[in-house]
Structure 1
Amino acid sequence: MASLRSAPRRHRWAAALGVTALVVTGSGFLTAPALAAASQVVDFATHCVPPPIAGIPPIDGTTTAEITVDEPAPKVGDTVTVTYTVTKPAAGNPVDIALPADIMTPTGKVALGGAQTGGVTVTGPKKNPPVPGKGTFPAFSMTGTFTVDAPGSITLSPGDYNIHTSYIMELDTPCTVKNPPAPVSQTIVATPQPSANERTIQLGTASGNPGDPVTVTGAKFTAGADVVVVGRAGAAETADRTTVKATATGGFSASLTVNDKATTGIVAYEGTAWNDDKGAGPAAYTVNDDTPLPANSQKLSSSVAAGTLSMTQAGDTVSLTSVDFGKGGTSTGDLNAVTIKDFRGGPAGWSLTGKMTDLTGPGGKIDAGRLSWTPSCTTEAGSPSTCAAGSAGAVGSAGATLASTPNGALTGGEFTAGAKVSLDVPAFTAPGTYSGVLTLTLT
């Protein structure tokens, strides 16, 4: 089992899970999201060169085409399937001989623009109706995929294409866009992968008398952001608060004077109100009760020692199902169960997140963004907190939440987290074993 390490003065642990995918032959801040536009049929000038055997000059004509996608609003790391449909080719059968059915194989390119540039290679099946001699080529479709690597609007425009015929002899009719890029036919809007909140705070002392200052330090906040540091009485904020600006490295140090005897914790967050994605804490804090005792009375006290936040995992290796070379597909498995014990007895919840590396093997790598999971979490009876499973979706190098519990007046308990995992393996990934590391972090 991988070792568990505790960072100084923090409840933070990390464990490495070796994820193995087998590939064998035969037998992974916008206030409102923008909306993707519907695809458009576009026309563009095309220069087509018939095969030399036809003895005819190049053809300058107009191609009519449309680009469609299977996912108009992907996340960074998602794979998008693109279909390039030429409804009216600019070229036709260059010879007098009629061409029979199913001898045409189209290939082409789709040009990307906007937030992501480059091209997508697309191919079509060897399928067509009969084409008479010197007749117009029929409509055809080509498909391909690309991985989204940047957030924002990404445009897709038809690019060059080639029509290959296999009858009597092998002939090509390449057609190029005369004034590239061609008009935009499709626009998709990509959003960033949700990332784990790694903000943390620490207190200089865990208790004090009313009116005493406590030093609060923070890390991994947004550089230069205004950070509110405030006391908590259960889930409600107290009047004890101050504001400090984060440094260029995302850290801060603040002195907070705590007067409210009901205070049970201290939090820090960016913005004007608490946000789970931009806050840290609560860190437990106790205000000493200094109320004078009545005459002839005795004050009896007992204490409950606070424990730690910890996790263990049932194993450190996961073997996913194999897929076939040439077909690819989904390789699936189950994460080893992770047991979380929260015996701190304070107001803070916890979050268990994961980040994936690329999977490497004999054919290079399988991108980390191709690994997805469907998390689950169960709570042991009697626990003050109830855990919630993270959202199903891609894990990737940006990370995602496996499970969590909310902040509350009193939190704690025992929990078991897990996930169904699936790796999207490209069809022609070279045979062999591909391995990567999924790192789990408990905060």
Structure 2
Amino acid sequence: MLTTTPLPFSAEQQTWYERACAKLDPRRLQQLLYELTNIHSPTGAAREASEFMARHLGNIGMNASYRRMNERTGNVVGEKRGSGGGASLMLYAPIDTHLEGDESDSPWVGPTDPVDLKPSARMDGDWVFGLGASNPKGMIATLTEVANALIEADVPLTGDLLVAMADGGMPVDVAARDQAGMSSGVTHLLSRGVAPDFAIVMKPWNWVYHEEPGMGWFKVKVKGTLGYAGVPRGTPGFRSSVVPAAQVVLELEQWLIEYAERNTSGVVKPHGWIAGVQGGWPERPAFPSAVTEIFFDVRINPRTSPGEVKAQFAAFMGGLQARHPDFDLDWEMYGSVPGGTTSTDNWIIQSARRGWEHIEQRTHPTPDYLGGQTDGAALRRFGIPTARIGWPWPAEGSPEPLAEGLGGMGATYIPDLMPCARKIMYAVIDTLTRPRAELGL
């Protein structure tokens, strides 16, 4: 079990913390969230939302800039410098949404009527609805409110506070927009002078995590021959690709379950799910397809390389072929992102856990296993110690009907965010009011 090293605030730090928390304003947070959710920002096309946030961070007193990637999109960085001699701490969240919010999402997302799938915002009491209103825009609004309250409280910082958000944070690969996704934006950001000593990533679930998985994308091709509906079964020269694919799906599903168990370690359980099957033409149902493709994402534990996962899958495919010598199979790994980890003894992990325990008034337990991938893995791979901290998710008690399953990650109950804001504020005060030597730097 991970342990938290106690380090009580000084009287001054406690005063600064209480003063800053008193400035946290849930109505201001909600208004920002509403305005940001009203700006559509699909992966690779987040320019308007990013420019809006750059202006907003400037208006609250940060030195803010829009970092262009191309004509359609860019990233955002705001900075509030301290007096000097301290660390730099970046509060980070992605800014792009995982869905397009248009007809191209149908029918794959299911019914598109629920309010959390709409690329426009709606407020109802303490709720904000709209595509991405929870993840990622609820996170952006919360981190911004932390910075706003800190600045209004006039806390005398020694170190520098950064608030950053980047496009390309969703686990997608949008070819039409310069292959946006798979941490493309944060990689661009970190490669161009944004170099904090520590980072805090806000993401769902009410725990502090020190590591996150990567991901591996695979495609299996089941090959046959082009057929015709009028051909009797057993006709020489015709081999279905579709029927064997059904057997491959069943065996692959079992392998994914066993893979997750076999590769679980630390706080990561690397789940995987079959995402889709494609083959043939809906407008030509008389002609069975010569190829049926199965594609899936399997998560990668930080202690397992993408190459090792590829080797594990190769062994599975070798066994599958041996069990079904009549199947004509091919496969490829077409996407890979390594996982990332930070030492549990690192300052930012310990500080985030102290903040969590201060608000929760209990010892931080061993968190639930994590399978979700974020830009935090990329931050850690760049050598930036990173803590992931979040809030209870999904929100419960919505006055509006929401999409089943993951949906649009677009329903936020503002009171749920405020304890997380106070936890993050604790780590900010803890980190940025000390000299570097006290932080292990």
Give the structure-1-normalised TM-score. 0.24
Q: Between Structure 1 and Structure 2, whose CA radius of gyration is higher?
A: 1
Give the structure-2-normalised TM-score. 0.24
Higher helix share: 2
Higher strand share: 1
